[in-house]
Structure 1
């Protein structure tokens, strides 16, 4: 449930009343369908949302949509090259300098390449996926982990795929990249665990696992498709917000399944 408060101009604006109210959340890959849904849900919960994307126009449209849906919410966007560690660090440092804290990083940078069979795998696909699915995770995690540890509710949320656990023959490169991204995230979770000492972690790195994602435009393009086992981007956004509703120790280092385990 949302409440209402007045900003400095006296205008009323919606706000959340849960654990995300007033939180500062960064969303990487904010311009895609999943990113748009996440911006909307986090803004609805009362968070300050800072999105990034490599497509400035797509990012601006996503930010405007979230602002329009939740009048008065603080939703901003910044084009960031997440393939460059220095750029990722500047983004993280700038958010903390501007808002005084960083309470979360939601990693929604995606990409897919597949092949007809295992033997027809094109290793050029690996070169692309390694950058999109692994390198960006490395850079965002290294850039944000210290600020997240300073937060009283820090969360790093990676979106992964069931194929990382049970790869299929035609998805060797994609599944391997997802598995590597998961391993990297779990290593960060171990750092949070150790940093928490005997009292347990105060911040967490968690993995949300889907089979695949679906959104309204996909349904419109393929009205007869069933999309069995797919997770709607709105449901994904709800699950992202839910990571903050659970204690850090409960989600840190865990795979949270949004589809049937293989």
Structure 2
């Protein structure tokens, strides 16, 4: 697995996403930073959003440096506000003329020591972070992604949604709901285009958990078995445009062994 970020790429190097416009929701964390970096290196115009302006700015600045001349911008957006999310989608399409991707990286975790000790306040929090933000971004970006003719809506999910454990009831249920919502979006794309030719694809990438360089530095003796490195995740996201939308739409791609 990769443990370091890719080297900076020259401004005139081009890339497989040259000309594409990709929005990244929840871009302030390690996975967001890695994704901004990889998309910029692939030539995309990247429009990032996060609720934390400082972490967002750090990721935007790093992605700009990594690909000289790349257009990478950051917007502080409250994705729990449906109006603000729709405004973000509309502004992105207006400013750049198209939206070819929405990568949903908003995350969060809460758990308990047993099923009986589950705190439903955890469900309330995870419902907002893991489901409501998916609802708002998918509804806001469905039109722009379809109009692009080759759009991608990308959800990052967890293996626990397929095999819930007693202490992760709220988290697993929220992830499963987010997956179901995304697959419903995929069905909408399927029905909106000519037979076998959806105008966009909604895809779920499934990990056990994510690991970053900072996590390895903090726990140098830890093995992180089955975890997906954030740079590997970013590369898998980039590859989603390598295949036709019809092949990617409604798929659940496992980046960790299936339980």
TM-score by length of 2: 0.95
Provide the rounded CA distance (Å) in 1 between the counterparts of 2:142 and 2:159: 25
Question: Secondary structure at 1:13's aligned position in 2?
Answer: coil
Q: Say if 2:74 is the partner of 1:61.
A: no
Provide the rounded CA distance (Å) in 2 between the counterparts of 1:170 and 1:73: 43
Provide the rounded CA distance (Å) in 2 between the counterparts of 1:30 and 1:14: 25
Task: Indicate which of 126, 133, 149 corresponds to 2:146.
Answer: 149
Greater length-normalized contact order (CA 8 Å, ≥ 6 residues apart):
2
Kept in 2, the 8 Å contact 1:201–1:248? The answer is yes
Task: Indicate which of 112, 127, 132 corresponds to 2:129.
Answer: 132
Kept in 2, the 8 Å contact 1:88–1:143? The answer is yes
> Which residue does the alignment assign to 1:47?
44
TM-score by length of 1: 0.94
Q: Deviations over 1:130-163 (max 9, x none)?
A: 0000000000000000000001210000000000
Task: Indicate which of 189, 204, 208 corresponds to 1:207.
Answer: 204
Kept in 2, the 8 Å contact 1:88–1:139? The answer is yes
Q: How does 1:1-262 map to 2 (within 5 A)?
A: 13-18=11-16, 20-262=17-259
Superposed CA RMSD in Å reads 1.3
Aligned residues: 252
Provide the rounded CA distance (Å) in 2 between the counterparts of 1:216 and 1:14: 29
Provide the rounded CA distance (Å) in 2 between the counterparts of 1:119 and 1:245: 45
